[in-house]
Structure 1
Amino acid sequence: MPLPPLPVKKRKDGFTANDWYLCITIAQSLKTKTFRPNKVNIITLGCAKNLVDSEVLSAQLRANDIAVSHESHKSDHEVVIINTCGFIEKAKAESIQTILEQVERKKRGKVERVIVTGCLSARYQQELADEIPEVDAWFGTEPYREVLQLLQADYKQELIGERLLSTPKHYAYLKISEGCNRTCAFCAIPLMRGKHVSRPMEEIVLEARKLAEKGVKELILIAQELTYYGLDLYKKRMLATLLDKLSDIPDIQWIRLHYAYPAQFPMDVLEIMQRQSKICKYLDIPLQHISDPILQAMHRQTDRRYIEQLIYAIREKVPEICLRTTFIVGFPGETLQHVEELIAFMEQVRFDRVGVFTYSHEENTRAFALRDEIPQQEKERRAEMLMDCQREISYQKNQARIGQVMKVMVDRREAGHYVGRTEFDSPEVDNEVIIHTDTKLRAGDLVQVRIDRAYDYDLEGELVS
């Protein structure tokens, strides 16, 4: 369904968009006639930041003696909470489809209440409420207090740092900040999650300690921009200091960094990475493009020369580092020449991991004023061109691993063998290692594996110890 932009200017009657949404939420809460359920099911869409929000809400519900499940396929819950994503067109479509499916279940008497939270709801609350009146309440991101109040439950301040994990128990995402101050032309995140807000370091470390007590071995640090951490609270970038403190937690074995913005990259993070063995030599640093005209149009605050110098400096300080990046193709004004330049850059730099998105024309972003004239089919073709290039690079890099003994964290048992990851691989998005052994292993075990086979994106080997 078409979703028009939110009202962002002040109305003549003095109401802002936030005032309007608050009125809608209050009205919907009255319509719902708050009640206390016995069981709630939470469905999470989108990124790991949404997943963390769902886990925090789950812990609060459980502390109020409300049973909670995550993406359960059973029909034994009275309330379903859908934590939506509104980042790009495909994510919005998936979120709306999920809402409609749950509304249909409500009509059939399979669930009593449908509550929607998250980025899509934050961005299009008024329009969604008009289009899907069957939903009982709409909330934005981090809606813990509001949802609990609606369900006649109390927000428990003493539970800060507590989460009900939905990931395998040996790894967890750790959100260190919320929002973003960047003005990338294609990105709608600031519209949904607001300006950058760093979490206090003590609070993050406390949460990490609690996760370690539950058996978590790997922390995956996430934020819209990790490297901005601390500027608002401490008036300087403090990611390196935070990493030092997290490394002191005895039971944590790996600490992984996601989403490091390239501009003004803090090089002291690399010094900590070299000094602290617990910090994975892995860096997710989204570049989005390499052609200067496109980078300028994207408002990325970098150019090709800076990016090349940064990559060289990173690899010089941490020679064995695994670099992951993402690119966007099909941005307004991109030509085949720009794509060819990007492919040549990939062949030159040889990233270890690459993800590719097709440009999504998002209202209220800077790029929305540009003409989105590249057909979606052509965008997909360009994305495949990049992935064909990366597939060959990945295959060659994996072939070079044959004969090496690598440390692997066991994730699961599947089809008669174990599956794990090296420190160079993040869950769900990167390579996996198939482990052959008769020894009984547990999820979270760190083992040595001799690699004897390699494929485009995965490795295979025998347990050494």
Structure 2
Amino acid sequence: MKVRTLKQNKVNVITLGCSKNLVDSEVLMGQLRANDFQVTHEAKKSDANIVIINTCGFIDNAKQESIDTILRYADEKEAGKLEKLYVTGCLSQRYKDELEEEIPQVDAYFGTLELPQMLKVLEADYKKELVGERLLTTPKHYAYFKIAEGCNRPCSFCAIPLMRGKHVDRPMEDLVTEAKRLVGMGTKELILIAQDLTYYGLQAYGERKLPELLERLSDVSGVDWIRLQYAYPSQFPLAALDVMRERDNICRYLDMPLQHISDNMLKTMRRGITSRRTKELVREIRDRVPGIALRTTLIAGHPGETEADFEELCEFVQESKFERLGIFTYSHEENTHSHTLVDDVPAEVKQERADRIMEIQQQISLDYNESRVGQTYKVLFDRLEGGYYVGRTEFDSPEVDNEVLVLATNDLHIPQGSFANVHITGASDFDLYGEVVR
């Protein structure tokens, strides 16, 4: 079929999956822009002649979304609306051969670490001098900040090492340079991400360097908030908590996926930590950083999870009262250790267990939010939506956590990306309401 004439070298990048994928797309877009391509991210207007889909291959639902997206744009290509279609990211890394056979309309598939090869196919140069530069897809006042790639952890259920490879640290000097560059672009909040933040330094320096990295990033002028996501509990570098407590611009916030609490499940999941040590760590974190908001993630229905294991998990959630909590139902992933086990928890039981955990958490979150009514917090405002200025406290990460809503009145103007002190006047399960202190 004849392809209609489109504007040359206009690329639309589609990102699926996690914030780490988003950073990869931003780096790709920065490279393309430097090669004189017009670049858009998830543009609603279909006027690009090239589409690049950055896929997720983490769990079943994410894989299906990636496949559906590829098929949709493959249809557009067959209809003559696209000249070129490329696929990259985790799904492409993991299932390249199968995808090439099943969806041949795609011009080329690339793995997670094949950016130079992709640029070559696009007849663009990989510009090494741009390392650390990217086109932000988030509002400019916050940026996801990837400090390492890959993972060395042996978790039984996780396919990330298959898709991302072994842990590789980014040099500390490069990270400081990137932080300064982002500040120059208007970024106020750095959200540190990696498959495992706490492993940082072991590959490049032979010792854990997260505390030192936090100090150096905290010293960068113009960084108002630094937030830690995706910390691993086993061998947690406690000195990082001391830095958090001592530095005003490091948020009292920690995202630390625990996955489970029963010793039976922790052993089966190959988490490298016991129930007792997990509980001790949670207490120690809260002792060292009073008022910290702890976010965790759990898995319901891993092979071998008994009713007793699940009841123990429920009790742990109830007792620990995590300020933020999410839960996944177990996904049986090929080539993981868990895939050698019988997936013996029925899908409906997995979902029932996940729902029960969230019911417990809903009440915990409501109680926590109601305890904040009457207090005043520094809030970073992300957007104006539905008649409200919407922002976050230091205890909340974008998109996954609570938000603070301030009624947008005629006499109130809060620019996107600005801070304001907000007096909390009301609370719901997962949001706060307040008034700007003038």
Q: Which range, TM-score by smaller chain?
A: over 0.9
Equivalent residue letter for 2:124: A
Aligned-partner Cα distance in 2 for 1:301–1:368 = 19
What pairs up with 1:67-216 in 2 under 5 angstroms?
67-216=38-187
Among residues 295, 317, 320, which one is paired with 1:324 in the alignment?
295
**Structure-1 separation of matches of 2:245 and 2:8:** 50
* Partner-residue secondary structure (3-state), 1:68: strand
What is the correspondence of 1:63-462 to structure 2 with a 5 Å cutoff? 63-436=34-407, 438-462=411-435
Residues 410 and 446, structure 1, Cα contact 8 Å, conserved in 2? yes
The residue type paired with residue 131 of structure 1 is E
Output the amino acid matched with 2:389. Y
Greater CA drift, 444-453 or 220-229: 444-453
Q: What secondary structure, in the 3-state scheme, does the structure 2 residue paired with 1:83 have?
A: strand
| Residues 1:464 and 2:431 are matched in the alignment | no
Cα deviation, residue 115, structure 1: 0.2
* Aligned partners of 1:37 and 1:151 also within 8 Å: no
1:228-263 CA distances to partner (integer Å, 9 max, x unpaired)? 000011110001101111111111100000000000
Query: 1:336-384: CA deviations, max 9, x gaps?
Result: 2211111111111100000100000001100111001222121111100
1:414-462 deviation line (CA, Å, top 9, x unaligned): 1222000000000000000001353211111111101010000000010
- 1:196-225 CA-to-partner distances (Å, cap 9, x unmatched) read 000000011111111110000000000000
AA at the equivalent of 2:14: I
Residue identity matched to 1:452 = T
* Mapped partners of 2:318, 2:102: distance in 1: 47
Does the CA-based 8 Å contact 1:407-1:447 persist in structure 2? yes
Residue 37 of structure 1: CA displacement?
4.3
TM-score, structure 1 normalization = 0.91
Partner of 1:338: helix, strand, or coil?
helix
Count how many residue pairs are aligned between Structure 1 and Structure 2. 430
Superimposed CA distance per residue, residues 270-319 of structure 1 (whole angstroms, 9 cap, x where no aligned partner): 01001111000000000000011011000000111000110111111111
Q: Equivalent residue of 1:128, what SS? A: helix
Cα distance in 2 for residues equivalent to 1:348 and 1:257: 24
Q: Secondary structure at the match of 2:183?
A: helix
- Answer with 96-105 or 329-338: which moved more: 329-338
1:119–1:193 contact (8 Å) kept in structure 2: yes
Q: CA deviation at 1:75?
A: 1.4
37-46 or 450-459, larger mean C-alpha shift: 37-46
Q: 1:118 to 1:37 in 2, by over 3 A?
A: farther
- SS of alignment partner, residue 428 of structure 1: coil
The offset of 1:85, in angstroms, is 0.4
Question: Residue 156 of structure 1: CA displacement?
Answer: 1.1
Distance 2:386 2:320 in 1: 36
The alignment partner of 2:260 has SS state of: coil
The 3 A distance-change label for structure 1 pair 451 and 366 is: same
User: How far is 1:100 from its partner?
Assistant: 0.3
CA contact (8 A) 1:83 1:118 kept: yes
Q: SS where residue 388 of structure 1 aligns?
A: helix
The range that moved more, 218-227 or 125-134, is: 125-134
Gaps of 5+ in 2: 1-6
- CA root-mean-square deviation: 1.0
- Residue 144 of structure 1 and its aligned partner are, at CA, apart by 2.0
Q: Measure, in 1, the Cα distance between the counterparts of 2:304 and 2:378.
A: 44
Query: What residue identity is the alignment partner of 2:57?
Result: G
Give structure 1 regions of 4+ aligned residues with deviation exceeding 6 angstroms.
Answer: none
Query: Residue 24 of structure 1 corresponds to which residue in structure 2?
Result: none
Q: Distance in 1 between matches of 2:339 and 2:175?
A: 36
The aligned amino acid for 1:118 is G
Q: Give the conservation status (yes or no) of the 8 Å contact 1:180–1:225.
A: yes
Question: Any conservation in 2 of the 1:217–1:254 contact (CA below 8 Å)?
Answer: yes
Once residues 347 and 49 of structure 1 are traced to their aligned partners in structure 2, the CA distance between those partners, rounded to angstroms, is 31
Deviation of residue 123 (structure 1)? 0.4
Cα separation, 2, equivalents of 1:141 and 1:245: 29
Secondary structure (helix, strand or coil) at the match of 1:308 reads helix
- Code of the aligned partner of 1:448: N
SS in 1 for 2:223: coil
Is residue 280–residue 423 contact of structure 1 (8 Å, CA) maintained in 2?
yes
